[in-house]
Amino acid sequence: MGVVNVTPDSFSDGGTWFDADKAIRHGLDLVAEGADVVDVGGESTRPGAQRVSREEELRRVVPVIEALSAEGVPVSVDTMRAEVAEAAVAAGARLVNDVSGGLADPGMPRMVAATGVPYVVMHWRGHSHDMQSRAVYSDVVGEVRDELLRRVDAVLAEGVDPSMIVLDPGLGFAKSPEAGHNWALLAHLDTLLGTGYPVLVGASRKGFLGRLLAAPDGTRRPFNDCDDATVAITALAAAAGAWCVRVHRVRPNADAVRVASAVRTAGPAGASERPGMASRRDVAVSEADSDAAGRRGDSGSDHR
């Protein structure tokens, strides 16, 4: 899943693709590099970010989604608003990627159920302006799993098809780098995979990577200088059985997925059938696109 931030203030590339024409070209470039899905978002969810209006979010994303969809690109929309998601689906989006898991807008699950599109339910405890104050856990792995499953129960009650649900542990969202929450979730990805739902991993360029790679004087590695570490996580996540990875640079991560797939295929019989690599692997793409996803190993949010 390649990232297209149509924003002036996203943490990793704020403003680079804010112009619609540049965003469209970037989306096409990501597909050429091997992206199976292009994730278009018009609202930054970096720590401290303030929300934009619904009208502004629509103005940012709809033209980009329409243009990419017209080119046959499988597009997902990164939004917390049901009205934006509905307009995006009407414009051609095939998946809704909701970082709030339906908590920010109670109408989102009903909209997803009505349109029948796949739905990424991310672990979330609050909006960007105060989410880090909520990064308090006794057992981050167990609590994230349990909170996600409660959200799944809630969206199922609104009529969402269970075969259309994807889970995302929400790395960087209400997760403390100092407490190692993100690393614990990555180390125990099998806990989420064991739920039977496909899992999306979004570690690309996130702050916990910059902290890990800090210079001896404590200066953190810049966001856009964490791509090699992102590739390492992609390989590990793909080997563990993740359904998809959300990344800013596609080609090296696509290569990592192919390597992990080759190793998994060469391993013990049935290794590719571990939880998470299930029959729902084509959930985010049409049947016509699922072969491309399979060729890349069926594996492929800090903040948007």
Q: Which residues contact 268 (CB under 8 A, 6 or more apart)?
A: none
Burial degree of 178 (CB within 10 A; 0-12, 13-18, 19+): exposed
- Is residue 246 part of the annotated active site? The answer reads yes
Amino acid, single-letter form, for residue 234: T
**What distance lies between CA 290 and its chain's CA centroid?**
18
Euclidean distance between CA atoms 72 and 92, whole angstroms: 9
Euclidean distance between CA atoms 11 and 4, whole angstroms: 12
Query: Closest Cα partner for 21 from 13, 33, 10, 29?
Result: 29
Which whole-number Å values give the CA distances from 218 to 134, 205, 221, 226, 228, in the listed order? 25, 18, 9, 15, 19
Query: Closest Cα partner for 170 from 206, 197, 133?
Result: 206
Provide the H-helix boundaries in 80-193: 82-91, 108-115, 140-157, 181-187, 189-193
Query: Taking the alpha carbons of 144, 146, 149, 153 in that order, is the dihedral positive or negative?
Result: negative
Catalytic residue (one of 125, 145, 205, 246): 246
- Is residue 22 part of the annotated active site? The answer reads no
Amino acid, single-letter form, for residue 138: S
Provide the H-helix boundaries in 42-105: 54-70, 82-91
Catalytic residue (one of 145, 206, 249, 296): 206
Active site residues: 206, 246
